[in-house]
Amino acid sequence: MADNADQSETELTRSKSVDEKVAELELKTRAVHDAEPLTKILVLYTGGTIGMVTKNGVYEPEPDCMVQKLRALPIFHDAEYGDAHFCPETEANHLALPLLKSKLKTDGQPSPNGLTKEEFRVLFTVEEFEPLLDSSNMNMQDWATIASRIQDNYDQFDGFVVLHGTDTMAYTASALSFMCEHLGKPIILTGSQIPIYEVRSDGRDNFLSSLIIAGNYCIPEVLVCFNEKVFRGNRTIKNDATSFSAFKSPNMAPIVTLEIDISVDWAGVFRSGTTEKFRVATNFCPNVGLLRIFPGITAQTVRAFMQPPMQGVVLQTYGAGNAPDNRQDLLQLFREATNWGIIIINITQCTHGRVSTSYATGKALRETGVIPGGDMTPEAALAKLGYILGKDSWSLDKKRKMMSRNLRGEMTTSIQEEISIMDHELIESVARTLSLSSKDEIVKLRDALYPNLMCAAACTGDVQALEKLRQTGGNISAANQDGRTALHVACRGGHFSTVQYLLHHGASVHIKDYHGDTPLIDAISGKHMAIIKLLVQTGAVIPLKPEKMAVELCSAASQNDVDTIRAWHEAGADLNVCDYNYRAALHVAVCTYNTDVVQYLLDNGANTDIQDIFGNTPMSHAEKLCYHDILKMMGQESAVNHIE
């Protein structure tokens, strides 16, 4: 009998549909995900050496190989976790890093998911391009494809990693930095000099480091990760074809250094400082080019280069931006081209340094209408030209002005004296009391105190105090011991002008505190509608899973709390979302006879026919309970007459 029972149970299990298996796995995964700190990363595999295999003695891309190979590498995939929580039929390209020890040096900065435990996990999904490309075959349309993929998945993931060939990686990183407007999450490009499947490969460290940084540091930039360093993408050049240190950033220090500890230069992070949603600009002008000045270059060569359809030229000159001022034929050509409407940007041929007008030869170029490009790399200057010239709604004058403006941290606009952190009286006083003297000790003190000082200022809406803290070295997005930033606090307190100030200085709407709440959740809790609208306009989305959102809505419905439901709805909540028993807010509002909530829900698209786990709908509840007025709200006059 026991054998027959076991056999029957086995047959029952085998007969389960794919949908049932998926549902079971979702329930298992939900329990684990609720208990374990997780971040989700989208990996866009475009091609390049990192995923190539050896065929006939040479490296070639191999489609549908990357995920399979990664699953076989324990450092990239926890097979036990994957078998238990990923459905083979629908999540074949999902992988999970092993649990990571929280030894990361965050310098008081929050991660995007508000991690608090000793261990955390990064989940990543791999999307493979078809066909896979050697980066030498990359073009502007491929840049647009990458940017569009990120835009389509922006709200579903905490960060993005782009696996890319090294030859044109700096061009792609520069282009993405301009195309991705109002960016609030990390996008990291990486690759390798040796394929990841080889016994000796730099690809493993590069990819793993990129996943960890993207999953645990809210750096809202396009970055390049290579050989234990993370650079700003539009400051990067490929410097060496034979070394693992293939990339360098000649005019800017790395933003992240990966050693025993991970050190982030938070002061160097560029923030958009806008209150607009993330978007992608894919209209990229292809009529741009690089022209390198050399001794004896002829006017005919330059004139031929400037012919239509050319619209923008990156002029690479000597030293600090110099060209021969005794060549009136060249200067006249540059002047004519500028008058034709061609935008010419002047950058140096030197790897390190910037364009200036200290020399007469550099001043002569400026007088012809050529725009100084500061210390931009050739890749960044070319990408910036293509991006700006693609703005069809901008006038030529505005395009020229924008070329000289620092848009994404691609150029150093001015050299300012660093404000000493000792300038703040409180820091100086505490340091003196604790007998601190070294700069490192005082920096640690500032990192410990400033987040709490900023939260205290935000609590009272003291913008002046926030500005003083910011000017003396404080990071506007720094989190206190509870993972809360000044923006969280200002949103909870309803200080609209303070929220505006923080957003305009680059505060992130995506950072979660130690409860997993973003500033938007604080604004919803405080029912501050104007702040909710501002945050949503900036790109904030509700971070809760649908079931948890439904629990919040049902709780508010049970208390006849229309304002809370209105706040959730204003933030983007679906009023028809269901909890773990498939009950929507309208079910609860009907059963508790909270007619104010019922009316609001019906006015805003609530569905009267959603079935809960017992097969009941809001309408059937009203019929069974003989709630005539609610049935009339639902437009069910016939049901009322039938009951009567």
3-state DSSP call for residue 160? strand
- Name the helix (H) or strand (E) containing 173: helix 169-179
Q: Is 444 exposed, middle or buried (0-12, 13-18, 19+ CB in 10 A)?
A: middle
Active site residue 595: no
Contact 347, 366 (CB under 8 A): no
CB atoms within 10 A of CB 541: 17
Out of 29, 39, 46, 49, the active site residue is 49
Q: Which residues pair with 290 in a beta bridge?
A: 314
Contact 108, 451 (CB under 8 A): yes
What is the Cα–Cα distance from 396 to 317, expressed in whole angstroms?
Answer: 24
3-state DSSP call for residue 39? strand
For tokens 């006059």, the residue is 637
- In sign, the C-alpha dihedral spanning 19, 24, 30, 36 is negative
- In sign, the C-alpha dihedral spanning 263, 37, 485, 535 is positive
| Helix 378-389 / helix 169-179 crossing angle, nearest 10 deg | 40
Query: What is the strand order of the sheet 312-317 is part of?
Result: 288-292, 312-317, 343-348, 371-372
What is the Cα–Cα distance from 342 to 487, expressed in whole angstroms?
Answer: 43
3-state DSSP call for residue 540? coil
- In sign, the C-alpha dihedral spanning 105, 110, 113, 116 is positive
Token pair, residue 192, equals: 């390798």
Contact 365, 391 (CB under 8 A): no
Would you name the residues annotated as active-site residues? 49
